Amino acid sequence: MSGFLPVLNVLARIILGFSLLFLVPLGWATMLDHERLSDIWLQGMGLTLGAGMLLLLVTRHYRQELMPRDGFLLVNLVWLVLPAFAAVPLMLSIEGLSWTDAYFEAMSALTATGATVLTGLDALPVSVNVWRCFLQLMGGLGIMLLVVAVLPLLGLGGVQLYKAETPGPMKDARLTPRIAETARGLWGVYFAFSVLCMLAYRWVGMSWPDAFMHMCTTMGLGGFSSHDASFGYWNSAKVEGVAIVFMALAGVSFARYFIVWRARSLMSLLRDVEVRTYAFVLVASVAGLSMVLVAHGTYPDYLSALRASAFHVVSLATTTGYASADYALWPVFAPVLLLFLGSFVSCAGSTGGGIKMVRMVLLIKQARRELVRAIHPRVVNPVIMGRAPISATVIASVMAYMLIYGATILGLTMLMLISGLDIVTAFSAVVATVNNIGPGLGQVGPSTSFGVLTDFQTWICTVGMLMGRLELLGVMVLFLPQFWRK
């Protein structure tokens, strides 16, 4: 146990930092809600601050550089512990909310999944909705990246945290000589886009609270809303247009934007194979789904179908999960396509979930390579991404990831079926949570919530969100006996 005390020491510092986030809903409660809500946020902040200080006091003599194993353990602890603190004020402020549902809501927020157990969002206090949405902004790019930017100031290295938290198969490439500088650069780009997004929402007619909340969930690609009808509340092409633009931008790697900013050139973005494939899939899917909707008479003309198709394709493909209509009522091809797109379209290094576009591209290239080798066994045909060959190690990592991904989807779906759910709800709920998409189909579709699930089913989905956010391998490695050996 003493070998993991340095991990707990860093966790204590993270908890202390997390306690400061309660100032955001506290500020909104002070301005717009009644006094009782302010007391709840103060209580949540005090509890988190006290727990962090106590843990820091117990582990104060254990400060040292983190090893690879420590990084994985710390990341898992962070994503398990912080939702617990985030859930406390939700349970205190929403009448009848159980601990299971409160923890699920907090996990969904921090993992930027967007699945919710709540209804009556329009009637919730502003500060409660702000808290749900603000957590998605923080969790979108990853709280650990923020920690990496701050840890060197505390005399602690962050390389292992960066590798454990960063999404995608190729994690060793540094954008700057120092990891902390890289993290600060990514967060700088992230918040610059966030400010622009909030101002754009305000410009097209949202109130300041709604503009702030939907900026948080757009840039975090989380999809929480302050209204039960989501974007159907406004029924505005301008509001949907702003959302489409910023969701699409957030679906691209923020590392690419950082490189563009440093080089003062768009060439690195335009030449990126993953980004080009991402844009092609989005455009092709929007055009194709529009034609399907017109052909089935779902919308009377192509422009109406194009508007609905563009909004929902970008929303679901980037794993945001906003809705302006109940797409579950569309021809069955449409909701299945949207769920499928959410499983892989967003880019590695973005705030989206799923297996990431780069992995899909590598899998297709590897499949093509094997087909060529079946015809010409001796041919030298390496997998090329851009202009560089991809190492066998990266290919093996992607193949292992996909094997674990398939096993996870199957295993969790079987558990949901054992609990009594129908196949559509069970499978879509697992796919939606593991890929951090948000809404599923059936009983957990876009017009309903996950509140219909039992506690057992809710915990399965909670585990799915955690595993998806840490890209499966980051969680599964804890179950290896070798991980716990010295």
Q: What integer pLDDT is reported at residue 170 of this predicted model? A: 47
- Tell me the mean pLDDT in the region 13-30: 93
305 to 231, 339, 445, 462: CA distances (angstroms): 16, 18, 20, 34
Exposed / middle / buried, residue 479 (Cβ in 10 Å: 0-12, 13-18, 19+)? exposed
Q: Which residue has the tokens 């199957």?
A: 410
Q: Is the model's pTM score more than 0.95?
A: no
Q: Each residue of 92-113: pLDDT tens digit?
A: 999 999 999 999 999 999 999 9
Per-residue tokens: 360 = 């899909």
Q: Each residue of 187-245: pLDDT tens digit?
A: 888 999 999 999 999 999 999 999 999 999 999 999 999 999 999 999 999 999 999 99
CA distance 42 to 55: 20
CA distance 197 to 221: 12
User: Residue 305: which pLDDT band, with cuts at 50, 70 and 90?
Assistant: very high
On the question of pLDDT at 386 being above 70, the answer is: yes
Per-residue tokens: 378 = 């001796």
- Tell me the mean pLDDT in the region 413-440: 96
Q: Each residue of 432-480: pLDDT tens digit?
A: 999 999 999 999 999 899 999 999 999 999 999 999 988 888 888 888 8
